[in-house]
Amino acid sequence: MNKKRFHWLGLFLLVLVLGACGTGKSKTNTSESTQTPANLRDKPYREEQFLLGTYTRLSVYDEGKEAALAPAFARIKDLGDRITINEPGSEIDQINEKAGIEPVQVSPDIYSLVKTAKEYSVKSEGAFNLAIGAITQLWRIGFDDARKPNQAEIDQALTKIDYNKVQLDDEKQTVFLEEEGMIIDLGAIAKGYIADEVAKVLRQEGVTSGIVDLGGNILVIGHSYRGADQEWNIGIQDPNTARGTTIGTIQEADKTVVTSGIYERFLELDGQKYHHIFDTATGYPVENELASVSVVTDHSIDGDALTTMLFAKGLEEGIRFVEEQTPEGTDAIFITHEGQVYVTSGLQEEFKLDSESGYQMAK
């Protein structure tokens, strides 16, 4: 992947964890000021590394647990190297190279990730499509060589994105792309899987209070360092402003918030912006009323798959999907180009829009 994109992306971190500061209006908090428990620190052990095409940050609030950071970063790097299709040699790359030729055996991590991605593809009828690679590699949005392909190229690529032609064999742990030219692209779900795995490592290392921030994927471990009844304040990024301007906050413990927005990566041509989430039916970027979607859920892999899927479904269908087809504890915040904010039922009370944000709650 190219360096330029890395730096640019870093400026557009979607969700900020505000941590201690802010209104302190946690659902369970009644006291004005609370003491940090003895085993937790006010100032975390914190480290930032440029991985997965973004700035990744880990924060650990448990006293004496700084050593948890190294294995956690090692896990990010290892998984990233095995999943990427932007550098040769990854396990996903090997699957793609053998498209139309033969099944490829993969590690348990990769098998489980591909399997979840296929399940989301089937469930969403391609709104989320793990086999979208022939289209994404044609446009290459977010890279220096991004371009608008001609219709013949798009038509050709559209014949190579059938997720039903991704064959999985649970026993042999193999993945087979039935047709030559098929490419799986896990960009819409990989960071979610990795965030969950990193949290596992941190917990194994004894971390009870911490933050995993993979740029657009936030996962909070345990409660806030301010105390057992204190949730984390998580800021929701303004989709029209770069770098850390938030439009409001939610309070959560042991949850993950994933955001996807069209402003994040795009190609601008003749005044038209082409962004990075594609419509499986047309091979063009999805165009609808949405500027960003944030999903709050228990597992980051689900949040990540859902943001992309909901984006592709659009506002009305997206809200319906969350309300009717996701388990309790899964909610979403939709922000439109017009500056309207829609939240699903589980966040109605909890989401606090900043009155100076310039955005409005819908209805």
Torsion angles phi and psi, residue 289, rounded to 5: -75, -5
Q: Specify the DSSP class assigned to residue 154.
A: H
Least distance CB 87 / ligand ADP (angstroms): 14
Nearest residue (CB) to ligand ADP, 52 versus 207: 52
The only residue of 136, 304, 322, 326 in contact with Mg ion, by rule CB under 5 A? 304
* 266-271, long-range: CB < 8 A, 24+ apart: 266/141, 267/139, 267/141, 267/146, 267/147, 267/148, 269/148
Minimum gap (Å) between residue 292 Cβ and ligand ADP? 10
Nearer to ligand ADP by Cβ, of 45 and 55: the residue is 55
Q: Say whether residue 134 binds ligand ADP (CB under 6 A).
A: no
For 63-84, the DSSP string reads TT-GGGHHHHHHHHHHHHHHH-
Smallest distance from the beta carbon of 43 to ligand ADP, in angstroms?
28
By CB under 6 A, what part of segment 272-291 binds ligand ADP?
276-278, 280
* Using rule CB under 5 A, residue 307 touches Mg ion: yes
Beta bridge partner(s), residue 47 = 58
Q: 129 is in the binding site of which of ligand ADP, Mg ion, none (Cβ under 5 to 8 A by kind)?
A: ligand ADP
Bridge partners, 296 (sequence order) = 257, 331
Nearer to ligand ADP, 233 or 260 (CB): 260
Question: Binding ligand ADP by CB under 6 A: which of 69, 72, 257, 312?
Answer: 312
Residue 173 has which token pair? 């742990």
Residue showing tokens 């949405």: 290
Closest CA to 305 of 83, 183, 123, 181: 123
Question: Using CA atoms, how far apart are residues 192 and 257, in angstroms rounded to an integer?
Answer: 10
Q: Is 188 in the site for ligand ADP (CB under 6 A)?
A: yes
Task: Please enumerate, by residue number, every residue annotated as part of a binding site for Mg(2+).
Answer: 188, 304, 308
Residues that bind Mg ion (CB under 5 A): 188, 304, 307-308
Residues that bind ligand ADP (CB under 6 A): 128-129, 132, 136, 185, 187-188, 191, 216, 260, 264, 276-278, 280, 304, 307-308, 312
